[in-house]
Amino acid sequence: MNIAENIRQLQQELASSECKIIAVSKTKPVSTLMDAYEAGVRDFGENKVQEMVEKYEQMPKDIQWHMIGHLQRNKVKYIAPFVHLVHSVDSIRLLEEINKQGAKHHRVISCLLQAHISEEENKYGFTDEEIFRLIRDETIQHLKYVQVVGLMGMASFTSNEAKVHKEFEHLKLLFDALKYNDELPDQIRMEEVSMGMSGDYRIAIKEGSTMVRIGTSIFGERNYQK
């Protein structure tokens, strides 16, 4: 497993797009992450708060840390001082907690709204209707330490590429509808569409992704015995 070569190949694939690689490093040791760092990666994604904090404390401080997993409100305080982008905001109550913790550290925390685009019930996220209700909710106008900068979505886990295309296309259409919506409050702007992982990132890029969350294709299979 040559991490640097994997990264180089991915960068070549993405060269004709404006899509950024988020290296998903969950369960991988710091030594492995440093191989990716030395190959030029500066954006790392983690699913677990404790693991992200431990790695943040041990690794160079020019890294941008992305929380891509489900985030519980009681754990926001641990990543609020340093997290670069929270991809997985799935409720207004979570936005309120991020705002509260951002205020404590005098920093505006960037977030993505997680849209539920697959038919799998076990995935988190807002429905389209809930997102449009959220942008009209007066609550969000008072969140001065939160900046929503786009959307995140996870396609169905399936070998049916047409289905994945459709789900990613839906997310991009939702993104565009919001981007050109005159009702967007100052706390929301549409700049990023985080969609695509190791198994479906090529489809995501075709459908307009600006961030792909790549783990296995960089680091190999994960060890969940940790």
Contact 169, 207 (CB under 8 A): yes
- Least confident interval from 1-5, 13-17, 220-224: 220-224
pLDDT at 1: 61
Instruction: Give the confidence band of 18 by pLDDT, cuts at 50, 70, 90.
Output: confident
What is the per-residue pLDDT for 86? Answer: 98
**The two three-digit tokens of residue 101, written as one number:** 């913790």
Read off the pLDDT of each residue in 151-175 and give the average, rounded to a whole number.
96
If DSSP codes are grouped into helix, strand and coil, which group holds residue 147? strand
Confidence at residue 183, expressed as pLDDT on a 0 to 100 scale: 87
User: How far is the CA of 49 from the CAs of 8, 23, 106, 137, in angstroms?
Assistant: 28, 16, 20, 28
Enter the pTM of the model: 0.95
pLDDT tens-digit series, residues 25-41:
999 999 999 999 999 99
Express as a percent the part of the chain with pLDDT over 90. 91
- Tokens 């340093």 locate to 82
**Alpha carbons 91 and 96: distance in angstroms, whole number:** 9
pLDDT at 122 over 80: no
- pLDDT at residue 27, as a whole number: 92
Q: Are 101 and 77 in contact (CB under 8 A)?
A: yes
